A = this chain, B = another copy of it.
Amino acid sequence: MENSTPKFIRSSHLKSDMAGVIMLPISKVPVVKTTDTISEIEKNLLKKIENLDTINYIYIVDSEQKLKGVISIKEIFLKSKETVVSEIMDRKLVRVRLRTDQERVALLAVKYNLKAIPVVDKTEKLLGVVSSDIILGILYKEATEDILRLAGVERFNENILDITKQPSRIIILARLPWLLVGLTGGIFAAKILGFFETTLEAQIIFAFFIPVMLYMANAVAIQSQTIFIRSLTLNPELKTTTYFSKEIKIGGFIALVCALLFTLISFFWQTSPFIGVILGLSMFISTTWAVALSIIIPWLLRSFKKDPAIGSGPFSTIANDISTLIIYFSIVSLMTKFFSI
């Protein structure tokens, strides 16, 4: 297969998750001319068959190797031998480019229920084919990696099933890095809370709501981020600004509902009504900010040509925890002074 990869593909700096890298080269795929008859196709197919990887579809190209149509192997057997292929081929083609992301190729295969998708260049010249079993293998590995990354498990290329068979030492090394980053973040968070010691001592009640503030900011942010990162992979033309403003609106609305509910509950629970207002306001601002952060971080990573998913999971949690605490206690500090509670 090495030798059959055209030189321009090897030298074109394709990334390993692009269609051009995972496709089968033309030599492994049934390709015929538009002028061929069914009997000519049968003869040529028999000669080549040992080298073919998949024979579900036969691709039809013109004299310049431009992809013109496709026909399923079944039809070859059903039509009369004299039929010229261009008369019966399907001209509605689903095709991708060398640089199309493999997850997008998978999405197209799923959407149109295809067993293979052809890869073409700008001039529609056929370069190769990505078959469904290849997509399956890649997708499987990628889904597993995405889920593990979201859970803060790093450096695993092996299959998830093998993890249970790995020695404990290897598993610990894969899990510890993000935990140590989190521990450092936690110490930093404690330092920040230290600055608000006087406020906290005067109104210990605000300490009780630290868990729910952290929970809400993180929960809303992980929803935004997960949807954003996946949309980004599947839809490369996604306009980040449009997406961002919609997400901020949705995130802001959710934050507002939770904040209002919270204010209401706190009103009935607490003696001072101001405490409920402070809690609700803090929740609204910190949660909306967390949503913004959860989109800005993967967007920045993508601008620097890094995988947006790196910024997900543990990294996001730490960033949200610290910013939530700063926002929450700044508001508490300001408001309690202002209203002299």
Contact = CB atoms under 8 A, between A and B. Distances in A.
Interface string A56-74: 1000000000000000011
Chain B CB count within 10 A is highest, among A46, A225, A261, for A261
8 contacts: A49-B78, A143-B146, A152-B222, A164-B246, A179-B220, A182-B216, A185-B215, A210-B211
Interface string A205-240: 001111111111011101101110011001100100
Chain B CB count within 10 A is highest, among A55, A148, A153, A175, for A175
Contact of A132 (B132, B175, B183, B253): B132
Chain B CB count within 10 A is highest, among A73, A106, A151, A200, for A151
Interface of A: 45-46, 49-50, 52, 54-56, 73-74, 77-78, 106-107, 109-111, 113-115, 131-133, 135-137, 139-141, 143-144, 146-148, 150-153, 159-161, 163-164, 168, 171-172, 175-176, 178-180, 182-183, 185-187, 189-191, 193-194, 197, 200-201, 204, 207-216, 218-220, 222-223, 225-227, 230-231, 234-235, 238, 243, 246, 249-250, 253-254, 257-258, 261-262, 265, 314, 317-318, 321, 325
A218 B245 CA distance: 30
A153 B131 CA distance: 32
Contacts of A257: 176
Of all A-B residue pairs in the complex, the 4 with the closest CB atoms, nearest first, are A186-B212, A143-B143, A151-B226, A193-B208
Nearest to A142: B143
**Chain A contact residues, majority secondary structure:** helix
Nearest to A255: B179
A182 B219 contact: yes
B78 A164 contact: no
A152 to B, nearest CB: 6
A103 to B, nearest CB: 9
B140 A139 contact: yes
A223 B153 contact: yes
A207 B192 CA distance: 12
A241 to B, nearest CB: 13
A130 to B, nearest CB: 11
B262 A211 contact: no
Nearest to A150: B150
B183 A209 contact: no
